[in-house]
Structure 1
Amino acid sequence: MQTIKYYFLLLLASLLLHMPNVRAQEANIKTQNQNIGQFIKIWGLVKYKSQKSITGKFNADRVFLTLIDSVTNANEKQFNQLMLRMIGDIDVSLPTKGHGYNSYQYLLKNVNYNWIKDKRYTVLLRQKLTALSNYVNLTGKHQYIPAVWHESDIPNEASYPTYTFNQEEVNLLTLAKAWNAVEYLFPYKYMMDRDWKKVLMEMVPVFREINNRTSYEKSVLMLAVAINDTHAVEFMESGNMKMTNVIFNVRYYPPFDYKAQAGGIVIKKFLNDSLATNSALKIGDEIIAINGIKVAQWLKERAVLLPASNNAVKYRELSTSDNNRGDTFAFSNIQGETLNMKVKRDKACLNLKLMMLDRQNKQITKLIENDIVQKRAKEKTIKGRENIGNDITLIRAGYLFDKDFPEDKDLAQLSAELKSKKAIIVDMRKYPQGPGFFSYYLPLLLGKEPFAFARYYAADLKNPGVFIHREGIENYMYVAKDGTKPMGTLYTGKIIILTNEETQSMGEWFTMMLSQLNNNTTIIGSQTAGADGDLKRLTLPGGYRFSFTGNGIFYPSGRETQRVGIIPDIYFKPSAKDLMGIEDAQLQRALKYIKEGK
């Protein structure tokens, strides 16, 4: 007994002696992370605002990789010295900003340099950082910002294609690149749910712990989620992200197509008749709980790593609509083939079992692939433009291609034909494939004079972080510039635009324009993707692309489209019964409105 007591006391003494070391180690890690976060902010300010960087005399990656180890382990005095050395010579007597900015011409909501006032910085360092923040770039170009205002890659960002994801300094470089690109080039930073500087400090330890491709991709994905931008979902494309199956654990696949919604998962179609016959579930069933968990909570847990501007997009990504990779994220991270379902069928609630399909079975994989191929083949048969009866024309933006554009000799006839219609329905529920039709031909054919339908803001090369209004971009293109006149008088018939969560970016842009084409226009649909504006793409180590919205798009009144999306005049969301039907319920709703006016 005494021996046991002796060993217990010895163990307790050892633990007590060890505790101060643990606390000291934790304090040291905290200081290191703080140093890294501060360094990333200062390095980014030099990268985007200093004259030497603007003119190509600052190799941002090399400087970061050279300094990161010293910065991480520096005390306060050493940190300040390292930062002063990195900044180099700069005139600290530069005046504070006096650029005459106004709220219409410039978007200034993202500009906040209060972090420069940190008392841990010496007076001289604060003066230099303030001078950098005030610097005005008059060269008209920038080493790390694209000169073009439209969709573009961010220049001079190395890809490190052979990177193996096991070097802390390169992983932190990834964080520094992505964080600062958003800090200076993302117009909607002010609309994020979380403070971007707090996100940085939360992500520093995450990126320090990366040790393989999976943890690298997951960490970048966490950053993409934090910006609340649907365009960031591009990181998950199959040609970019490699470890989707591992990160989301999507081994099991449901035997049906489905639509995920806040209240439930609606079964739309089984993959084949045999699966339908052998399943206890039926088309039109609404799954309201899985393994005892309400669907709203179940989906919320599985949407944590899905980038999106709003919940409508979260549910879109959780569904199988437009599913070319076979992703079924609503059924990710499940542990076995059998799930207990609570199902709403008509007015009854049923408790049923669902047998999932195991993708490790080659026959199952082939079945899923065949289903996707069949869907693609069916889509190819859909017409981009067709008449419904004699008095309605339906234009499907996602199925109208350049080859379908009218020839000059046919314009007058087509204009007359469109204007003879009682109504024109424009379906924007799929990404436009022939943008020239909407930016040029349709307004021209309907007799619309050029008009400003939005405010368009692009990155200001003079002052990164600020976005400048580009006049003329908001006009539908070319008509005023090439001397072409709109054809005849303005069309005054009904224009109906169909929207939903698939209406994104260019689809939202053209919906904005068309909704203001005449005074007889109605949007019928639900919340859109909330990601208008051309993309910017940043290359990250490992050859990855990190994408985000690069331009600010607003209504003429200044109202945002980002995150909010295009607000419909008549809200329409298909019911479970609608989803199981053959007819397009939303199109039928538009036809009802044309006929009845309500």
Structure 2
Amino acid sequence: MTRIRSILKQIRRVSILPLLCIAHFNGMAQVKPTKPQLNLDFEKVKNGRPIGWGITSNSQYAGQLDSGIVQHGKYSVSLTHLDGEGGFGNIGITIPYSYPGKKITLSGYLKTENVSDGFAGLWMRIDPKVAFDNMNKQQIKGTQDWTKYEITLDLDPTKTKAIVFGGILIGKGKMWIDNLNIQIDGKDIATLEPIAPARIPAEEDHEFDQGSNIGTFELDQNKQKALKDLGLIWGFLKYYHPQIAAGNYNWDYALFRVLPKILAAHNQQQRDQVLTAWIRSLGTYDTQIDTQEEHREIKLRPDLSWISSSGFSATLQLELQKVRKAKRNGSNYYIELASGIGNPVINNENPYAGMDMKDPGYRILSLYRYWNLIQYYFPYKEQIRKDWKTVLDEFIPKMVAADNTKAYTLTTLELIGNIHDTHANIWSKNKIIDEFRGERIAACYADFIQDKAVITGFHDKERGNIAGLKVGDILTSINGKPIESIVAEQLKYYPASNLPTQRRDIANNLLRSNDSTLQLTIQDGKKVYNRSVPTYPMDKMPLYSKYRNTDTCFKMLDRDIAYFNNGNAKRNYLSDLVEHVKNTKGLIIDCRNYPSEFIVHDVCSYLLPRATTFTKITVGDISTPGLFYTLVDQKTGNTNPDYYKGKVVILVNEITQSSAEFHAMAYSTHPNAQVIGSTTAAADGNVSPFFLPGGIRTMFSGIGIYYPNGDDTQRVGVKLDVDVSPTIDGIKAGKDEVLEKAIALIRQP
């Protein structure tokens, strides 16, 4: 829920994925593993790079060989922060095997220079999700000379498929890494023989690597029903059938084998016969009697009513009910729950990044993959507020018709929008989306103020002045199209939890274009005029400057009113701030941002008189997919007679999202707190990322966050005590009207 936690999750599950995938898809085919040449001292070099290593090199971080600063030999590797906030750079290598032994230790030397806003460290991960450490707890910061560090993890040869390790820099500064060593139970890894990972049938099936072999077809009423039935059953089997959970089938390719038979069936009877035979062919399993879940507070139960309401034959229904009662052991090849958190970790889903999405089989697979993940593992499915099965019905013809990459990508984006989750979108750079929204942008930006699109600032003030625009100008049309029409057309392509957040995101892209100019109609008071505004390449504009917290995290607004910016506060600042704040009349906590660190419990230990429940959290269940239950209520604060006695006013708006909402909920439990502002982004909880065919990366909120009394936060947002929003006149005058209201509330007797 925090930026750092999000970064760490990316490191665990995404950032090293290309390295791991190389090992996974090539290494799994090897019967007799050969000892890897690990180049742990970086002395083996080709084309200026250490052989075998993957090193971050992008606009934020640069990794490179260094021959001037070394701990041993001729070379070390350095990682340097270049620009931006909240990122990380890493160096990594994958061993696509396991080894005999119980403990594995990675050691090595690190040197740091001005590391801040994060830490430096070694990292090691035992896949799939056996163990992980990146020295987060040691918090190596600042400047220090070469120092030896080590990580030790449990090694389970029966589960381990790969060992991934290296060095990492989170935040700013520079680090060097050199002279690594790996030992297993005290023995150098070079002296040990690797163990080939156990063969998993799902990973041995490559029949459809080049395409699904599903040709184009006309979608009539019979085929529409056939595809809906298959989508329901395919996903149900994926998460409920023990043989599939064990990894005994490549379930994507199983779809491509049965799909032609389903499309060829002339009626429901023939389809049911095909589906019944298919289920019986999957193998045997034990069943169990339905158990009561009285020991858990159930929030959401599986929706399996379709088994009996879809018009299936009695024989097919019986087979499906048997699978429903199958004895499951709480593990599944395709999904697990994150340890200690509970959000889904979606495994072994091939992104098919190079697949031509003109292939109808892969488009159908994409719809089924997404729809069933939401069906069984989205904690807020009931907040969708319509029968999710109708969405499957709606998007079957859309996906069948989306016979090119652009149409497929936009249809997928529209599908994602149906879950109404601000965490859910097409993330990472996507060329189709960039071209669709425009690869150029004007020098100014807009926000929706009082339901109008209003110029509120400039990416580049000098270029903005050249365009003749000023803060407070109202946009009424772009290229002759009214703003209201643009919004109405674009809403389906902007997934978010609520309308204010959709409009937030639309506003960010209103002034994008593929043309060199935009024709704007502008209203300034009673005056209306047209203006031709130049656009510039997106990469030439500081697009996120409006969200950066450049102000200090703390200041006194008056002698008795303190202001605390939650967006750029650091944990190590807090003890000093307490002395400045404790005798003030009021404390304003600005959550119109995203926290730079997860400081909620640190702040609440000062704010609250006692441990206080501030949220309920719900999680899913691998043994009963579609079931969600409540964990122990979450508390914050502790016994503190010297807690803050003044008024606390928390500021929120549509930028307050996820971790910021979580922080605001906790702060609002102060005995004299008020939350003021406008509707928040209404998407809380740790995210679960995954890929869809075509290399589309998306995610959804993976755990449910509720108020202690069970009230919703998803789609609703943080509860407001006072609703106050900026006005156009206030924007023109340069006022922060929400902050002014907070000061007025504190001044009230």
TM-score range, shorter chain: 0.7 to 0.9
Contact conserved, 1:342 with 1:352, CA < 8 A, in 2? Answer: yes
C-alpha distance in 1 between matches for 2:692 and 2:403? 16
Question: CA 1:537/1:519 → structure 2, altered by over 3 Å: closer, same or farther?
Answer: same
Superposed counterparts of 1:78-93, under 5 Å: 78-88=270-280
1:141 aligned residue: 331
Greater relative CO, 1 or 2 (CA 8 Å, sep 6+): 1
Question: CA 1:135/1:493 → structure 2, altered by over 3 Å: closer, same or farther?
Answer: farther
Superposed counterparts of 1:139-288, under 5 Å: 139-148=329-338, 149-151=341-343, 153-233=345-425, 235-238=426-429, 241-248=430-437, 250=438, 253-261=441-449, 263-270=451-458, 279=467, 281-288=469-476
Displacement of 1:140 in angstroms is 3.3
Displacement of 1:100 in angstroms is 4.0
Stretches of structure 2 lacking an aligned partner (at least 5 in a row): 1-215
C-alpha distance in 2 between matches for 1:261 and 1:185? 36
Query: Secondary structure of 2:370's partner?
Result: helix
Displacement of 1:571 in angstroms is 0.8
Q: Does structure 1 residue 425 correspond to structure 2 residue 588?
A: yes
1:73 aligned residue: 264
Displacement of 1:500 in angstroms is 0.3
C-alpha distance in 2 between matches for 1:58 and 1:27? 29
Displacement of 1:230 in angstroms is 0.8
Displacement of 1:382 in angstroms is 2.3
1:351 aligned residue: 528
Contact conserved, 1:236 with 1:244, CA < 8 A, in 2? Answer: no
TM value normalised by structure 1: 0.80
| Structure that is richer in strand per residue | 2
Displacement of 1:291 in angstroms is 6.6
Displacement of 1:45 in angstroms is 0.7
| Structure that is richer in helix per residue | 1
1:296 aligned residue: 484
Contact conserved, 1:178 with 1:538, CA < 8 A, in 2? Answer: no
Q: Does structure 1 residue 99 correspond to structure 2 residue 99?
A: no
Contact conserved, 1:106 with 1:466, CA < 8 A, in 2? Answer: yes
Q: Does structure 1 residue 524 correspond to structure 2 residue 638?
A: no
1:341 aligned residue: 521
Matching residue within 675, 684, 693 for 1:541: 693
Query: Secondary structure of 1:232's partner?
Result: coil
Number of aligned residue pairs: give it: 529
Question: CA 1:86/1:490 → structure 2, altered by over 3 Å: closer, same or farther?
Answer: farther
Residues 199-236 of structure 1 show CA distances to partners (whole Å, capped at 9, x for unaligned) of 11221122223343322221210111111111113x24
The percent identity for this pair of structures is 24
Contact conserved, 1:500 with 1:525, CA < 8 A, in 2? Answer: yes
C-alpha distance in 2 between matches for 1:60 and 1:28? 24
Contact conserved, 1:69 with 1:169, CA < 8 A, in 2? Answer: no
Contact conserved, 2:459 with 2:542, CA < 8 A, in 1? Answer: yes
Contact conserved, 1:252 with 1:357, CA < 8 A, in 2? Answer: no
C-alpha distance in 2 between matches for 1:37 and 1:317? 33
Contact conserved, 2:475 with 2:520, CA < 8 A, in 1? Answer: no
Question: CA 1:306/1:181 → structure 2, altered by over 3 Å: closer, same or farther?
Answer: same
Question: What residue identity is the alignment partner of 1:365?
Answer: P
Q: Does structure 1 residue 381 correspond to structure 2 residue 550?
A: yes
Question: What residue identity is the alignment partner of 2:650?
Answer: I
Matching residue within 449, 459, 462 for 2:620: 459
C-alpha distance in 2 between matches for 1:580 and 1:550? 40
Q: Does structure 1 residue 592 correspond to structure 2 residue 747?
A: no
C-alpha distance in 1 between matches for 2:518 and 2:242? 62
Contact conserved, 1:92 with 1:131, CA < 8 A, in 2? Answer: no
Matching residue within 566, 577, 591 for 2:729: 577
2:180 aligned residue: none
1:57 aligned residue: 248
Query: Secondary structure of 1:146's partner?
Result: strand
Superposed counterparts of 1:494-509, under 5 Å: 494-509=647-662
C-alpha distance in 2 between matches for 1:65 and 1:99? 37
Stretches of structure 1 lacking an aligned partner (at least 5 in a row): 1-24, 321-327, 359-363, 480-484
Residues 275-295 of structure 1 show CA distances to partners (whole Å, capped at 9, x for unaligned) of 555556543122345577653
Displacement of 1:243 in angstroms is 1.2
Residues 488-542 of structure 1 show CA distances to partners (whole Å, capped at 9, x for unaligned) of 43322111110000111111112111111x2210011000011112211222223
Contact conserved, 1:257 with 1:269, CA < 8 A, in 2? Answer: yes
Question: What residue identity is the alignment partner of 1:418?
Answer: V
Contact conserved, 2:726 with 2:736, CA < 8 A, in 1? Answer: no
C-alpha distance in 2 between matches for 1:30 and 1:334? 40
Contact conserved, 1:91 with 1:128, CA < 8 A, in 2? Answer: no
2:632 aligned residue: 471
Question: What residue identity is the alignment partner of 1:314?
Answer: Q
Contact conserved, 1:455 with 1:558, CA < 8 A, in 2? Answer: yes
Question: What residue identity is the alignment partner of 2:491?
Answer: A
Q: State the superposition RMSD in angstroms.
A: 3.0
C-alpha distance in 1 between matches for 2:464 and 2:351? 47
Question: What residue identity is the alignment partner of 1:427?
Answer: D
C-alpha distance in 2 between matches for 1:100 and 1:298? 49
Superposed counterparts of 1:312-331, under 5 Å: 312-320=500-508, 328=509, 330-331=510-511
